[in-house]
Structure 1
Amino acid sequence: MAFFARFKSYIRGQETVPGEAKLLRKIDAFILSFCCLCYFANYLDRSNLNNAYVSGMKEELNFKGNQLNVINTVFTVGYIVGQVPSNLALTYLRPHLFFPAMMLIWGSLTMITAAVHNPQGIMAIRFFLGLAESSTFVGTHYILGSWYTEKELGKRSGIFTASGLAGTMFGGFIQTGIQKSLNGAHGLAGWRWLFIIDGLITIPIAIYGFLLFPDTPTTTKAPYLTSEERAMAIARIPESGSVKVPLNLTFAKRVFTSWHWYGFVILWIIAGETESFSSNALLALYMKSSPSHKYTVSQLNDYPTGVPAVGIVSTLFWATLTDFMGGKRYLVGYFIAITGIVTSAMILTQFEKTAVVFAAYYWAGAVYACQATFFAWCNDAMRYQDDRFRSVVIASMNMGSNAVNAWWILLFYSANMAPRFTKGMWAMIGCSIALALWTTGIIWMTVREEKSREGREPRIRDADVKQIEETTREV
């Protein structure tokens, strides 16, 4: 009974000081709503090229050879290049200006794509589109780490990640509806309307962010936060976390000699490749190439949606559980290691049994949980580091993962390896073992750093608590 009472108290939200629960409700309402809408729109704009390609763009623009692959590679290059600069920009510019500006840029570029007349034009656009869209994922994790404590962060990171998975699930249906309803309207092909509508969707979201996004605790001027709530938001985070050091050679040396950079970048590179087992649509490729079963078009589209659905459930479960347990994010590393080894072994040894293969691929979708929890873990471990250092490490995590994944897919999960993906199964097992070992190493480093930190202050300092309580009584 004590456990359930504790969990119920956690769900309702425990107040360290009076008014904290109200503050959390406010920042949840405005930060999460904007970031999730932004991420959903980001996924729509990112995925619309492939949908347009199979909806008439290939024929109308006379695509040749591997030009589609080149365009996707160009986007990935822009996305990788933009990671660190965009996150550093958030430490110089107000987030309620930067995020909407990036949205308007990528929305405008998406709409401009509707006017192209050859694949080369799309290549140029997609590079800058990647630069603009690189701000959303890592930028949101930086902002979440600025507002929430280790007992709150995982659940919020999970909700944000789930919005992207929802975009993966439902984006195709939205794109298909646009194609069917507007094809030929005003003399424009449906695929051109696809880019126009997707671009227009970003405008109201950007306006909403410009008006109501609260920036960071030390810079916020949000009209819905009182002066007492702003003071409380600052008191909830360590003083060192709000420090902004200059960008110089000393800073660069500090980044590249720190265990945080190597530890979390390599962690996410390994974890990202366990996640690629699901994100590269292996189940759909298995079904398409199955020698024993012939699946209908609707089955090919519908059955694989169960993978991100499992990912959403797993993400929210583990994000909430690790929050409830006080930030034990490392548990997810071991869970994913077990999942990767077992599911790969199931496919390798029971390939002739369709039900077993389906079960393995669905279970493998649970590895999506690493996305929210590992970025939350990085934020937790770097709470006493300065903002710019933390922003670079978070951005470098995603940059490193994308850089490796660009060639990892071709090496282990190329379409011509379907339906068995034997090399990919062994790669998954290897990554899972490496993930368990690397997770253990980071635990050792974080514990050592925790013990060596002298004079560590509590999350909300006694003087701050007293001041906030007195201010609240006066109000």
Structure 2
Amino acid sequence: MWKSAESKLLFKIDFFILTFCCVTYFFNYLDRSNLNNAYVSGMKEELSFQGNQLTVINAIFTVGYVVGQVPCNLALTYWRPRIFFPAMVLLWGGLTMVTAAVSSPTGIMAVRFFLGIAEASTFSGTHYILGSWYTERELGKRSGLFTASGLAGTMFGGFIQTGIHTSLDGVRGLSGWRWLFIIDGLMTLPIALYGLFLFPDTPTTTTAPYLTAAEKELAVSRLPDTNAARSPLNKAFLKRLFTSWYWWGFVMLWVIAGETESFSSNALLALYMKAHPTNHYSVAQLNNYPTGVPAVGIVSTLFWATLTDVLGGKRYLVGYFIGVTGVATSAMILACFDSTTTVFAAYYWAGAVYACQATFFAWCNDAMRQQDARQRSVVIASMNLGNNAINAWWSVVFYSADLAPRFTRGMWAMIGCSIALALWTTAILVQTVREEKRGEPPTSLGDVTPVDHSIKKDG
């Protein structure tokens, strides 16, 4: 009976949580990646971009994204997610449409800063919500599906841009790339309405009409009861946060791991093609060929997320896989730059590093199950904040558009990050193994608090 009731509960929350979060993240990533698609589809020439202005715009977006991380995740512990998430979706949809009206690169810079703040709500916020509903053997697959939806946005962005450029370029006097932003913004409205009426909030606060009273009780009983009582934001809260190994360990993990995604997140394959000294590519090729990178990322994400669930949450395996991938792909590009086939193969393979998004945030949720929910929300947000704070200048220094097509210094930076990731993964693994042997997760450095291990986990 328990399994039958639990299966029905999982089906319902999977449907309503994952449909909203995945579709939201799809358009979140679509809006981000379409700036690069627009750049190679006529925006560069129409707005007279100079030097590394595209890279600077991406960095400014990152600054806004960083500013919004912790406030957005904390907001989810004060306001109902079904209100907060749709409000942010409407905000960034409006800003996306505003992008279609800009007349200069500086105008895009201003819009993208506020777009970054609005979009900061989605990634970290969803991982906080997933950790509130799913057990250790369920979380990886759901995190993987969520991450894959964002990669799908990146992948289909190229095809969508190609279709709009072909069919709408010049309609009503607007360039195809402007129509792209208008259409993207309009598509967010039904998503926001869907979330407002049907998103289930968290197990302890849900009022979803499709969950019975028994299912609500079951949802709460499946996980440690850390969501009902949340610590106030005071000095004691901050002391626990910053003396906890969770904050330092997982923030640094994502600072390093996030930079191994630089080949893909900075659209280096498209920039390589655009700036190639001898090979010339059409607009369709510039938009379509790079879609193979997120396609590889989707397959890798779903594979590793599922495998680590099956193996009982061994998320650390992904750290070693990504370390090898980062070193190998960078070396291939450095050593065989004159071989277009080898360079394309390396960039496609590098897309596999996207697997770390789902598994590392799931790893953090797993490790902090016994901790206060507000602490967990801040650690998750801080992971993304830390990585994007580095991204704000990392991409300019190592992957600036004017460094295309070789990105030599970026290749060496990738090798360094990949080695560092393998070492840091080992450090976190050692810490978690120590906790398992002690049988008691410490809440802070030197402070070990016994916990009740009678809570049953779903197997």
Q: CA deviation at 1:356?
A: 3.4
Q: How many corresponding residue pairs?
A: 448
CA contact (8 A) 1:241 1:383 kept: no
Q: CA deviation at 1:301?
A: 3.4
Q: Deviations over 1:257-282 (max 9, x none)?
A: 21111101110011111111332233
Residue 130 of structure 2 aligns with an amino acid whose one-letter code is L
Q: Which residue of 2 aligns with 1:163?
A: 149
Q: Which residue of 2 aligns with 1:427?
A: 413
Within 5 A, what are the aligned runs for 1:332-347?
Answer: 332-347=318-333
Q: Deviations over 1:10-62 (max 9, x none)?
A: xxxxx964411111111111111000110111123223444445556566666
Q: Which residue of 2 aligns with 1:226?
A: 212
Q: Which residue of 2 aligns with 1:409?
A: 395
Match status 1:457 vs 2:453: yes
2-structure distance, mates of 1:205, 1:435 = 36
Q: Which residue of 2 aligns with 1:215?
A: 201
Q: Which residue of 2 aligns with 1:375?
A: 361
Residue 17 of structure 2 aligns with an amino acid whose one-letter code is I
Residue 207 of structure 1 aligns with an amino acid whose one-letter code is L
Change (3 A) 1:140 1:303: same
Q: Deviations over 1:202-253 (max 9, x none)?
A: 1000000111111000001111111111111101110134431100111112
Change (3 A) 1:25 1:190: same
Q: Which residue of 2 aligns with 1:80?
A: 66
2-structure distance, mates of 1:115, 1:408 = 29
Indicate which of 393, 396, 399 corresponds to 2:379: 393
Change (3 A) 1:418 1:55: closer
2-structure distance, mates of 1:74, 1:22 = 44
Q: Which stretch of the first structure deviates more once superposed, 100-109 or 25-34?
A: 100-109
Q: Which stretch of the first structure deviates more once superposed, 81-90 or 293-302?
A: 293-302
Within 5 A, what are the aligned runs for 1:109-258?
Answer: 109-116=95-102, 119-186=105-172, 188-258=174-244
2-structure distance, mates of 1:322, 1:276 = 24
Q: CA deviation at 1:108?
A: 2.0
Same amino acid, percent of matched pairs? 74
Q: Which residue of 1 aligns with 2:7?
A: 21
Please tell me whether Structure 1 or Structure 2 has the larger radius of gyration of its CA atoms. Answer: 1
1-structure distance, mates of 2:386, 2:36 = 24
2-structure distance, mates of 1:62, 1:419 = 20
Q: Which residue of 2 aligns with 1:311?
A: 297
RMSD: 2.6
SS in structure 2 at match of 1:91: helix
Which structure 1 segments of 5+ residues have no match?
A: 1-14, 463-475
TM-score, length-scaled by structure 2: 0.90
2-structure distance, mates of 1:427, 1:138 = 26
2-structure distance, mates of 1:188, 1:418 = 29
Residue 310 of structure 2 aligns with an amino acid whose one-letter code is F
Q: Which residue of 2 aligns with 1:94?
A: 80
Residue 312 of structure 1 aligns with an amino acid whose one-letter code is I
CA contact (8 A) 1:273 1:405 kept: yes
Q: CA deviation at 1:328?
A: 0.5
Q: CA deviation at 1:68?
A: 4.7
2-structure distance, mates of 1:118, 1:326 = 51
Q: Which residue of 1 aligns with 2:444?
A: none
2-structure distance, mates of 1:48, 1:300 = 12
1-structure distance, mates of 2:33, 2:451 = 49
2-structure distance, mates of 1:33, 1:140 = 12
Q: Which residue of 2 aligns with 1:6?
A: none
1-structure distance, mates of 2:44, 2:343 = 34
Q: Which stretch of the first structure deviates more once superposed, 229-238 or 299-308?
A: 299-308
2-structure distance, mates of 1:112, 1:134 = 18
CA contact (8 A) 2:40 2:283 kept: no
Match status 1:361 vs 2:347: yes
Q: CA deviation at 1:409?
A: 1.9
Q: Which residue of 1 aligns with 2:287?
A: 301
Indicate which of 264, 268, 271 corresponds to 2:257: 271
Residue 433 of structure 1 aligns with an amino acid whose one-letter code is I
CA contact (8 A) 1:235 1:461 kept: no
Q: Which residue of 1 aligns with 2:433?
A: 447
Q: Which residue of 2 aligns with 1:329?
A: 315
2-structure distance, mates of 1:278, 1:74 = 18
Q: CA deviation at 1:412?
A: 2.3
CA contact (8 A) 2:59 2:393 kept: no
Residue 83 of structure 1 aligns with an amino acid whose one-letter code is Q
CA contact (8 A) 1:272 1:401 kept: yes
Q: Deviations over 1:122-167 (max 9, x none)?
A: 4433222211111011111110111011101111111111111111
TM-score, length-scaled by structure 1: 0.87
Change (3 A) 1:356 1:75: closer
Change (3 A) 1:66 1:362: closer
SS in structure 2 at match of 1:409: helix
Change (3 A) 1:127 1:283: closer
CA contact (8 A) 2:59 2:396 kept: no
2-structure distance, mates of 1:191, 1:310 = 26
2-structure distance, mates of 1:245, 1:415 = 45
CA contact (8 A) 1:213 1:222 kept: yes
Q: Which residue of 2 aligns with 1:468?
A: none
2-structure distance, mates of 1:251, 1:79 = 24
CA contact (8 A) 2:253 2:425 kept: yes
Change (3 A) 1:406 1:121: closer
1-structure distance, mates of 2:286, 2:46 = 26
